[in-house]
Amino acid sequence: MSLVLLSLAALCRIVLPKEPTIQCGSEAGPSPEWMVQHPLTPGDLRELRVELAKTNATTEDYSVLMNISWVLRADASIRLLKATKICVTGKSNFQWYSCVRCNYTEAFQWQTRSSGGKWTFSYVGFPVALSTLYFIGAHNIPNANMNEDGPSLSVNFTSPGCLHHIMKYKKKCLEAGSLWDPNITACKKNEKMVEVNFTTSPLGNRYMVLIQQDTLIGFSNVPENKLTRTSVVILVTGESEGAVVQLIPYFHSCGNDCIRRKGTVVLCPQTDVPFPPDKNRSMLGGWLVLSLLVVLWMLAVGIYLMWRRERIKKASFPATMLLPLIKVLVVYPPEVCFHHTVCYFTEFLQNHCRSEVILEQWQKKKIAEMGPVQWLTTQKKAADKVIFLLSNDVSTACDSTCSQSKGSPWEKSQDLFPLAFNLFCSDLSSQTHLHKYIVVYFRGADPKDDYSALHICPKYHLMKEASALCTELLHVTQDKSAGKRSRASHNSYSPLYSTKEKEDSKPSYPTIPGESSL
């Protein structure tokens, strides 16, 4: 197996020719091939590039050279190519010219490399000066015959100055302060003064600081011959915020042509108030501790008062049910005064017993459409309670105001009391819906003999038993609410009563004309 591999390797060496390399050296004047007539000559270069390259020498011997690379054109004329000549002309304070000839060690057998890439070569040489314009030209050899256009390729290259990351290490740049970092800070103290701080360099002994907007608004000379952090306050003649600060050093090697550095003016930060002396500081600390104790005491008192208020609130206003309105059908005989008795009683039910009151006087149109019996039957089914409102005698006020004169409400109303009583008797016979009926009366009135069956119903004397009446009505709302709770009302009087009322906290109710208030 080893013999086979060695044989293959030897065969490859035989089959694959060596790739050409270059050997470069200086050549002044025209090339010898220029003096010979050639039937065929190679074409020109495809590409020519120039870059900077630094040597690996010490800082003292540091130098920067040109790295010139070129790419050959991939055509059949490459077989005639023997060498490439590169000439460089530099133009600065004086003109400089030099040429290098790079011979190819092998003849080209292929238009491209065996790997498929184009033939590319490079040469590192030609020292580079600061900020200099170079003209680089290159042509292939054999070159064109006399009186023929010689193919060539050229580029221009301008070397950078001392601030370039490679050029700044040149000796001349180091002496001009290329590695010096003044760390300029400048701030506006007020409308007329700017404070500038920077780090000096041991290379020089004086500096000039300029402050410029569109024009020069301030300057100052700063003498300093050692490495230190220095500060200078400069008077300005205009708005200085955002102005440019230019620091000009005067070093021994570069004189007035040294590298200038720049900064920007910003607002000065606010200086902190100095700490008081120890005696005042201790006194201030004592006041701070005392103030903190007072604040904590006030906070504790506030929390206690809030807790006590909530406790009193819970004791005074027990949690109650947020109850729905109850529907109450009120029927009354003709002798009860509608204006002074029925209306005031209706207002009492609405304002204090959470009731939605149904009166025939308010639904005359429906009564006319449905008929009194049908209307009364429908309202009795829809109502939660049916109240028979009774009164044995009529007050003088009712006699004079509510007399049965033509056009009065009483004269126009229908007496539905007998119909309501008949419905009650029907429910009494069937023992259904009896829980709906309540009798409310005034001045010790009792049901007449014709309506003696009403004795079976719960009876309430107004206004003496007003609280008990509301409690009875609210029992209905508690059954309808299905146990849903909400927060209690905080009005001066809440119609939501608990089932047990304290005798010393009875609510006050409006007085119905002709009745005594409690």
Residues in the chain: 518
The per-residue pLDDT for range 455-484, each reduced to its tens digit, is 888 888 887 888 888 888 887 766 666 544
**Cis-peptide into 142, omega within 30 deg:** yes
Going by C-alpha positions, the residue among 28, 33, 45 that lies closest to residue 145 is 33
pLDDT tens for residues 360-414? Answer: 888 888 888 888 889 988 988 888 889 988 876 555 445 555 554 444 444 445 6
CA distance 337 to 333: 9
For residues 107-116, average pLDDT: 88
* pLDDT score of 445: 58
DSSP code for 493: S
DSSP assigned state of 124: E
**In angstroms, how far is the first alpha carbon of the chain from the final one?**
130
Strands 185-188, 261-267: pairing kind = parallel
pLDDT of residue 449: 62
Kindly tell me if the per-residue pLDDT of 340 is higher than 50. Answer: yes
Query: Mean pLDDT across the stretch 297-319?
Result: 77
The residues with which 321 forms a beta bridge, in sequence order, are: 485
Q: How confident is the model at residue 254 (pLDDT cuts 50, 70, 90)?
A: confident
Helix spans in 89-164 (H): none
What's the pLDDT band for 230 if we cut at 50, 70, 90?
Answer: very high
Per-residue model confidence (pLDDT) at position 515: 52
Q: What per-residue confidence (pLDDT) applies to 157?
A: 94
Residue with tokens 């970092």: 181
Number of C-alpha atoms within 13 angstroms, CB side, residue 105? 9
257, β-bridge pairs: none
Residue 296: what are its φ and ψ, rounded to 5°? -65, -40
List, in order, residues 6 or more apart from 192 with CB less than 8 Å away: 235, 236
pLDDT, position 209: 94
pLDDT of residue 500: 38
Q: Residue 75 phi/psi, 5° resolution?
A: -140, 180
Chain-centre distance for alpha carbon 284: 40
pLDDT tens digit string along 425-455? 888 887 777 788 899 887 655 666 667 788 8
Of the candidates 247, 245, 238, the one whose C-alpha atom is nearest the C-alpha of residue 266 is 245
Mean confidence (pLDDT) of the chain: 80
The C-alpha atoms of residue 451 and residue 446 are separated, in whole angstroms, by: 9
User: In this prediction, what percent of the chain has a pLDDT beyond 70?
Assistant: 77
List, edge to edge, every strand of the sheet that includes 261-267: 216-223, 204-212, 244-251, 261-267, 185-188, 193-199, 229-235
Q: How far is CA 137 from the centre of its chain?
A: 60
pLDDT at 426: 84
Q: What kind and span of H or E run contains 94?
A: none
pLDDT over 80 (residue 57)? no
What DSSP state is assigned to residue 22?
E
| Mean per-residue pLDDT, 9-31 | 76
Long-range interactions of 219-227: CB distance < 8 A, separation 24+ = 220/196, 224/200, 226/200, 226/202, 227/199, 227/200, 227/201, 227/202
**pLDDT the model gives residue 115:** 85
Q: Say how far residue 503 (Cα) sits from the centre of its chain.
A: 61
Q: What is the pLDDT of residues 144-173, one digit of tens each?
A: 787 777 778 999 999 998 888 888 888 888
